[in-house]
């Protein structure tokens, strides 16, 4: 049996009695491991966010598209937001019906749009030229429009999707041009949506942008729904005691504005949200193996097999993920050392964490990268020709289910005309 070396306590029940070493022996290293109970808990929190009756949360599947996880989210009664034909395909394959999908692309091609139209999936467009394109493809149809509420939020400038510096959303000042295009193509605007960015821990910008979009919505009399977007954050710094997003307070504030809007608008319009990260993030851990220890220029390196081909967030955004160590024997040293934890990719920037204070492990010990269930596997690659790793699900019963096989070398050349 392994010993957990870390100060991250919330997830000690994560493995439900399974030994991470057995998982690695069976499925190889590195490995994405998901916990079904945590996933279901997050779905339920989101479903019960508000008391407003006509509330339909959509899971933004871009954060994790494993079909087995999608089936669980669907079973929990969530609908889904999809952003590409590939995501539409996966959502349909996992059991979502076209009516349960909301297609929110960016810079879609006519071919992309046709894919959704032919399947009866409602599309949201986010520029005047995309509205024109949609009008030519589906004249007389129903459409939604993503507006930029002018207020953005997010953990990094790369994921702030509203405000001045972004490619997303129609500028509300262009409303006259929007109306002309709706008229030109005889389109009915049945929904408006926004998404301010990814990962807020303070809900104020979300509430502010919601107030803006609701005020703006009052000018349209054809609306069936308003979608307030995603972006709900999770605490990545749990080892430092970071607090959770206060969902209860957020729900109460939202309820106030939603009920008040419905009264003014004269009907209980449908409200949607579209969180991605919040739902699978904490249900996923990447397990990997410690492969080397060395010091250079005063820096202590802990080498592992988790390169940025496996988890891209640290190199892409400088993101923090808490780390745990798992060891089968007593450690060589319990002295805490600031380690720079690195992967096995041929780039100096391949750094998972800097100055992470950990005890010294053995070569062959395991590390767990916490909160990797969102934007983890779906952003992984086979860079340096490392086949993508396997994914397993720890079911509510504790049973292990392989939900994606490890790729093979044959997969690396599958589409090359050799
Ligand atoms: C349109 C849209 N909706 C929803 C999401 C989900 O965001 P998050 O994972 O931060 O909840 C995104 C990604 O930022 C998005 O672009
Ligand atoms: N990939 C980002 C989030 C992007 C959200 C998609 N619009 C992350 O890992 O934090």
Scanning 138-276, the segments in alpha helix (DSSP H) are 175-184, 204-217, 247-265
Number of C-beta neighbours around residue 52 at 10 A:
19
Q: Whose CA is nearest to atom 1 of ligand 1?
A: 195
Answer yes or no: is the C-beta of 277 below 6 A from any ligand 1 atom. Answer: yes
> Does 275 appear as a known binding residue?
yes
Domain boundaries, the chain: 3-34+283-413, 79-273
The fold of the 3-34+283-413 domain, in CATH, is Lyase, Ornithine Decarboxylase; Chain A, domain 1 (2.40.37)
* Residue 239 pLDDT greater than 60, yes or no: yes
Phi, psi for 114 (deg, rounded to 5): -60, -35
> Tokens representing 120?
């009866």
Structure tokens at 196: 């301010």
Please compute, for residue 381, the number of CA atoms within 13 A of its CA located in the half-sphere on the CB side.
Answer: 9
Percent of the chain with pLDDT over 70: 97
Tell the residue nearest (CA) to atom 5 of ligand 2: 198
Fold classification of 79-273 (topology level): TIM Barrel (3.20.20)
Bridge partners of residue 123, in order along the sequence? 103
Span 62-106, pLDDT tens digits: 999 999 999 999 999 999 999 999 999 999 999 999 999 999 999
CA of 83 to the centre of ligand 1 (A): 10
63 Cβ below 6 A of ligand 1:
yes
As for the ipTM of the complex, it is 0.98
* 231 labelled binding-site residue: yes
**Nearest-angstrom CA–CA distance, 116 and 104:** 10
Distance 397 CA to ligand 2 centre (A): 31
Q: What is the C-alpha to C-alpha distance for residues 194 and 408, in angstroms, rounded to an integer?
A: 40
Tell whether 59 is in a known binding site: no
Q: What is d(CA 174, CA 278) in angstroms, rounded to the nearest whole number?
A: 32
**Is residue 329 classed exposed, middle or buried when 0-12, 13-18 and 19+ CB atoms within 10 A define those classes?**
exposed
pLDDT in tens, 168-200: 999 999 999 999 999 999 999 999 999 999 999
**Range 295-321 average pLDDT:** 97
CA of 276 to the centre of ligand 2 (A): 9
Residues 134-174 have pLDDT tens digits of 999 999 999 999 999 898 889 989 898 988 889 999 999 99
- Tokens 């301010």 sit at which residue? 196
Task: Give the C-alpha separation, 411 to 18, whole Å.
Answer: 30
């Amino acid at each position: 049996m392994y010993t957990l070396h870390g100060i991250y306590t919330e997830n000690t029940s994560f493995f439900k009695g399974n030994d991470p070493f057995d998982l690695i022996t069976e499925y190889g290293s590195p490995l994405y491991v998901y916990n079904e109970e945590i996933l279901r808990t997050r779905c339920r929190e989101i479903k019960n966010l508000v008391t407003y009756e006509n509330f339909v949360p959509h899971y933004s599947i871009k954060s994790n598209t494993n079909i087995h996880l999608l089936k669980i989210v669907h079973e929990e009664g969530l609908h889904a937001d999809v952003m590409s034909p590939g995501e539409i395909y996966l959502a349909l394959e996992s059991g979502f019906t076209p009516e349960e999908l909301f297609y929110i692309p960016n810079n879609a091609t006519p071919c992309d749009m046709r894919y959704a139209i032919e399947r009866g999936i409602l599309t949201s467009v986010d520029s005047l030229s995309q509205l024109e394109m949609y009008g030519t493809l589906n004249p007389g149809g129903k459409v939604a429009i993503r507006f930029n509420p002018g207020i953005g939020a997010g953990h990094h400038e790369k994921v702030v999707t509203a405000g001045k510096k972004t490619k997303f959303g129609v500028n509300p000042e262009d409303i006259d041009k929007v109306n002309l295009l709706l008229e030109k193509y005889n389109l009915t605007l049945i929904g408006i949506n926004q998404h301010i960015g990814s990962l807020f821990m303070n809900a104020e910008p979300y509430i502010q942008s919601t107030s803006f979009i609701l005020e703006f919505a009052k000018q349209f009399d054809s609306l069936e729904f308003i979608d307030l977007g995603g972006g709900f954050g999770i605490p990545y710094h749990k080892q430092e005691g970071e607090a959770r997003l206060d969902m209860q307070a957020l729900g109460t504030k939202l309820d106030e504005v939603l009920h008040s809007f419905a009264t003014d608008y004269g009907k209980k319009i449908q409200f949607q949200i579209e969180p991605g990260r919040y739902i699978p993030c904490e249900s996923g851990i990447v397990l990997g193996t410690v492969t080397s220890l060395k010091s250079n220029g005063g820096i202590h390196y802990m080498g592992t097999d988790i390169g940025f081909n496996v988890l891209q967030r640290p190199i892409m955004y400088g993101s923090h993920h808490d780390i745990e160590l798992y060891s089968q024997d007593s450690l060589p040293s319990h002295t805490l050392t600031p380690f720079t934890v690195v992967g096995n990719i041929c780039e100096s920037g391949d750094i998972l964490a800097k100055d992470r204070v950990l005890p010294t492990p053995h070569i062959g010990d395991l590390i767990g990268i916490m909160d990797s269930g969102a934007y983890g596997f779906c952003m992984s690659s086979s860079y340096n020709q490392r086949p993508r790793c396997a994914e397993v699900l720890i079911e509510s019963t504790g049973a292990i289910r392989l939900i994606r096989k490890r790729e093979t070398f044959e997969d690396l050349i599958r589409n090359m005309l050799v």
